Amino acid sequence: EIKDLQSTLRDSLDEREAAIFDAHLLIVDDRMLSTEVISLIQKKLLSARTAFKQTIERYISAMSSMPDQYLRERAADIQDVANRILAHLDGLADKKKVASFSEPVIVIARDLTPSDTATLDRSHVIGFAIETGSPTSHTAILARSMKIPAVVGMRRIFERLTDGDKVIIDGYLGMVIIHPNPETIEFYTEKLCRQERLLSELEKENRMLAETTDGYVIQLMANVEGIDGIEEIRKSCAEGIGLFRTEYLFMNKPVLPDEETQFQVYKTLAESMPGQPIIIRTLDVGGDKFDAAISLPKEPNPFLGMRAIRLGLSRPELLKNQLRALLRAGVYGDIKILFPMVSSVEELDGLLNLLEQLKDELRERDLSFNDDMDIGIMIEIPSAALIADQLAKKADFFSIGSNDLVQYTLAVDRSNEKVAKLYNPMHPAVIELIAAAAGAARENQIWISCCGELAGDPLFTPLLVGLGVQELSMSPGALPPVRRIIRRLSMREAESLVKDVRREANSAYTASRCKELIARIAPSIAKMNKGF
């Protein structure tokens, strides 16, 4: 079933969308999972359904507690496969299909799995809204690729509507308008026409430099989740990869990928993007997903526990194969190593010393490697921003991980709906921390990028440029509006904005000033984006 779905997606979309279901196939073929299920059946005399359900729920719980939001959202993929297998065990596999329609409809549901989304009838489903998910969930990614307007994470929308209700889906603003009046319908009809014209205009600017009106060039890069995303990066005209996540190489594996396996992946990546910079982040997860491979205990608070380089420094075998593979692959392209979750000079020293040890090992093995590879660190913990001047003396570049930086600065878990409203990237403390990191980078003549959600949000573009961020890395689809704003913005305006909002130190004022500036220099972008 999954392979048939992949084949359909390859025919109608491209390899990247089909590759989303590679993880589903890995789950189905996971020997560790099947071994645990069989063990429960044999030892506790459980039915196959009960044994599988208990085991898979533990997997889903572990993934849902991951510190990284991107990885937490992959729990939905495990649930998707679980639903499919449970349907077979219940004898309902043939009945578990998304409804078909004979006229244009908007689907409202509590949840749509990636499989549900991929099988939507695009000739009749013109939009959907669900109560679960986020913009980086696979359901949302598929919706964008399929060009289906969608709103995810819309709490309690299902209970507010009944079949036959008239609604408008505004995917840009994240709104569902219930029972729109004739004036609203006319407004959105005109807005749709304007939007189509704007997208056509933005596409023409794809190959233009992101250069301010007074001559400052900002590098626009793309975030990517795996090798399969390379083609989309080429189409977007990104200038390189600003964040390559490597977690997919490690997830749901009974054993860790060895050096050669990783080397081949990174080498292929480098060769596919000749002459373009590729920033590869080392493994950024906690130990709870690797029990079978390295027997690490569960932690009560994985957000503040042994994750990323903390885990790597305490268990060097996790990092050694990856770093050796990266050093070797650096011969084939402009690869740069990015360390996540660095919080002290001592941690950075430990990582740099480990790199030198690994270089000596590669020399002894007579293997070629890049001895002059740029080494960067993520600025995503407040302590790192506050000692950025010291870290900048040892690192070649900084990359601001805005998602975690905001979360750790404000002590807010944005996935918790009870406190999510406190998650405020325009909080004065967040701006001051970014300013501190950018200032330290400038003083020490190293470059600084931003690869979190703020980088792809047009509302923040003038702020980041004015703060001194030289590179923005985002999902490929977010590049066109950000490029348009930079090309309409002057560095003088951006720096004046930053000076103004830092003086006022008020998040509402900051948001208002950013909106005013963008509405003036790029009104078409302001009208089509969330937050304006």
d(CA 441, CA 424): 24
Q: In this structure, how many other beta carbons lie within 10 angstroms of the beta carbon of residue 451?
A: 28
Radius of gyration of the chain, Cα coordinates, nearest whole angstrom: 24
Q: Which one-letter amino acid corresponds to residue 85?
A: I
Q: Which residues of 12-21 are buried (b: 16+ CB within 10 A; e: fewer)?
A: eeeebbbbbb
Q: E strands along 145-283, which residues?
A: 150-151, 167-170, 175-178, 219-224, 241-245, 277-281
Residue 24 bears catalytic tag: no
The catalytic position among 24, 427, 450, 451 is: 451
Structure tokens that stand for 318 in this block: 């996790």
Q: Three-state SS for 328? A: helix
Structure tokens that stand for 471 in this block: 């590179």
Contacts of 272 (CB under 8 A, 6+ apart): 227, 230
Q: In this structure, how many other beta carbons lie within 10 angstroms of the beta carbon of residue 228?
A: 17
Structure tokens that stand for 193 in this block: 């026409």
Beta strand pairing status for 447-450 and 471-474?
parallel
DSSP symbols for 305-324: SSBHHHHHHHSTHHHHHHHH
**Smallest Cα–Cα separation from 338: which of 280, 406, 409?**
280
Residue 451 bears catalytic tag: yes
Give the distance from CA 461 to its chain's centroid.
18
d(CA 73, CA 54): 20
Contacts of 42 (CB under 8 A, 6+ apart): none
What strands, in cross-sheet order, belong to the sheet with 125-130? 105-109, 125-130, 150-151
Residue with tokens 């081949």: 264
Contacts of 114 (CB under 8 A, 6+ apart): 20, 21, 24, 76, 77, 80, 138, 139, 142
The catalytic position among 138, 427, 450, 514 is: 138
d(CA 340, CA 265): 20
Contacts of 159 (CB under 8 A, 6+ apart): none
DSSP symbols for 7-75: HHHHHHS-HHHHHTTHHHHHHHT-HHHHHHHHHHHHHH---HHHHHHHHHHHHHHHHHT-SSHHHHTTH
Structure tokens that stand for 403 in this block: 């998602």
Catalytic residues: 138, 451
